[in-house]
Amino acid sequence: MREWGDHVHAEISEQEIATRTLRKRETKNQAMSANRPVHWRLAAQSALNQPHPHHLFLPQHTVSTANNLTRRRDITNMASNAPAPKPKPLSFMETLSHIVSFYRPAESVSSSPSERTRAPPKLIIFAAWTGAQDQHIAKYLTKYQALYPTSPILLLKSPPALVTWNPLKIPNAVAPAVPVVKSIFPDSASSSADNPELLIHFLSNGGSSSISGLYTAWAAASPDGNATLPPHVTIIDSAPSSISLWPSIEFFKAFVPPSQHLIATPLLFLLSATLSTGISIGLLTDWLKTWGETHNDRAKNKEEVRRLYVYSEEDKLVGWEGVEAHAKQAVERGFEVRMEKFVGTGHVSHARGETEGRYWGLVGGIWEGR
């Protein structure tokens, strides 16, 4: 009878013999394959890449388990080394609809001491330009968060399809904003011409359409259908205007990749010319002009306390002459107006670069009435 040690010795010897035999076969196969076609040599190489011979003497489930553990460890390491997903630009806001979002500061947030003469807005309504991307909108909203940390912000977006093809649906689209405003101003008497607590800031004709639609939605939600928004201060950036040929072409080009501008321009010219002609002969409505007129209509915008226009001559979408004509009409109708013409800045670009400080200084100034 062999002892346990003899059994192990014999088993090891058998393993060594098997290993040597396999290696001799591999050497012979390599020599034979040297003169064989390429695909034969590749097949021989594949055989050499099989598991180590010692694995032949291990239970198959042991080898599989080890391989699975290795794969899991590699996956875990890859996951731990992967960068954390970047938060969305407007992740701090609650989405009420695909157009309306709301930000309410945490109760622990408080205003830092400052030289401001007036309390911060009780609510800021920010109406973005048509097709504005979230990362661009966020730059304005985060600036407002820094200026007025305790102020809630109501965002109104302006989708191109809605503004361009379904303007009659805008009041219904912005209607989810009405309950938010009512919850903050349950009694409009708390806000007065001497003490407005609502700040409205809209950009371009897209923002103009949203605020105009809000006038309508607000009135429709009142018992008599004639109510207007609480007393407020308004900031109008790069607006309003009316539809004309070349600004319309520039508007549509904003939604075409730059590489396709040359090809698309003739088609955009035809589209804009058709639109302008249809308006001039009374077949189509100039919605840009219609929305602009509502801001100077005391029946719809009765409680506006004062307003600021920010514009420039370099704006290719909204002409400075139209902005100044709108401001002149506002003064004639009893609105308090302040004009600020920027130099060298384009459409909805007045708050960028070197003019950023001036821009936000104007925002604070019009709110405080200075």
Residues 217 and 353 in one domain: yes
Indicate the Cα dihedral angle 134, 207, 247, 350, nearest 10°.
Answer: -70
| Residue 3 is assigned to a structural domain of this protein | no
Residues 215 and 304 in one domain: yes
Task: Name the domain boundary from 59, 81, 103.
Answer: 81
* pLDDT of amino acid 251: 84
Query: For residues 263 and 3, what is the distance between their CA atoms, to the nearest angstrom?
Result: 91
* pLDDT of amino acid 118: 87
Query: For residues 34 and 41, what is the distance between their CA atoms, to the nearest angstrom?
Result: 7
Residues 199 and 341 in one domain: yes
Residues 148 and 195 in one domain: yes
* pLDDT of amino acid 356: 96
Query: For residues 245 and 292, what is the distance between their CA atoms, to the nearest angstrom?
Result: 18
Task: Name the domain boundary from 81, 108, 142.
Answer: 81
Give all strands (DSSP E) within 28-147, no chain letters. 94-95, 100-103, 123-127
Question: Over 50: is that where the pLDDT of 327 sits?
Answer: yes
Instruction: List, in order, residues 6 or more apart from 255 with CB less than 8 Å away.
Output: 131, 160
Query: Quick one: what percent of the chain has pLDDT higher than 70?
Result: 74
For residue 8, which phi and psi values (nearest 5 degrees)? -65, -40
Instruction: Measure Cα distances from 275 to 212, 249, 268 in Å.
Output: 22, 11, 10
Question: Residue 316: which pLDDT band, with cuts at 50, 70 and 90?
Answer: very high
Residues 192 and 99 in one domain: yes
Indicate the Cα dihedral angle 256, 257, 259, 261, nearest 10°.
Answer: 20
Q: Which residue from 157, 184, 188 is spatially nearest to 173, judged by alpha carbons? A: 157
Q: Which of the listed ranges 41-45, 48-52, 154-158, 268-272 does the model predict with the highest average pLDDT?
A: 154-158
> pLDDT of 138-165, one tens digit each?
999 999 999 999 999 999 999 999 999 9
Residues 148 and 225 in one domain: yes
Task: Name the domain boundary from 58, 81, 104.
Answer: 81
Question: Over 50: is that where the pLDDT of 4 sits?
Answer: no
| Of 364 and 280, the one with more pLDDT | 364
> pLDDT of 182-192, one tens digit each?
999 997 555 66
* pLDDT of amino acid 31: 56
| Residue 277 is assigned to a structural domain of this protein | no
Provide the CATH number for the domain around residue 330.
3.40.50.1820
Looking only at the bridges linking them, the beta strands covering 198-203 and 153-156 are unpaired
Q: Which of the listed ranges 2-11, 44-53, 337-346 does the model predict with the highest average pLDDT?
A: 337-346
What domain range is 20 assigned to? 10-81
Picking from 61-75, 112-126, 137-151, 219-233, which range would have the lowest pLDDT averaged per residue?
61-75
Query: For residues 158 and 238, what is the distance between their CA atoms, to the nearest angstrom?
Result: 15
Indicate the Cα dihedral angle 274, 279, 283, 284, nearest 10°.
Answer: 90
Report DSSP state, residue 194: S
Residues 220 and 317 in one domain: yes
Tokens of 91: 């992740």
Residues 172 and 112 in one domain: yes
Residues 219 and 74 in one domain: no
Q: How many domains does the structure of the chain reveal? A: 2
Q: Which residue from 300, 276, 292 is spatially nearest to 226, judged by alpha carbons? A: 300
Tokens of 87: 């938060």
Number of H helices, E strands in the chain: 13, 8
Query: Quick one: what percent of the chain has pLDDT higher than 90?
Result: 58
Residues 172 and 303 in one domain: yes
Indicate the Cα dihedral angle 274, 171, 142, 140, nearest 10°.
Answer: 30
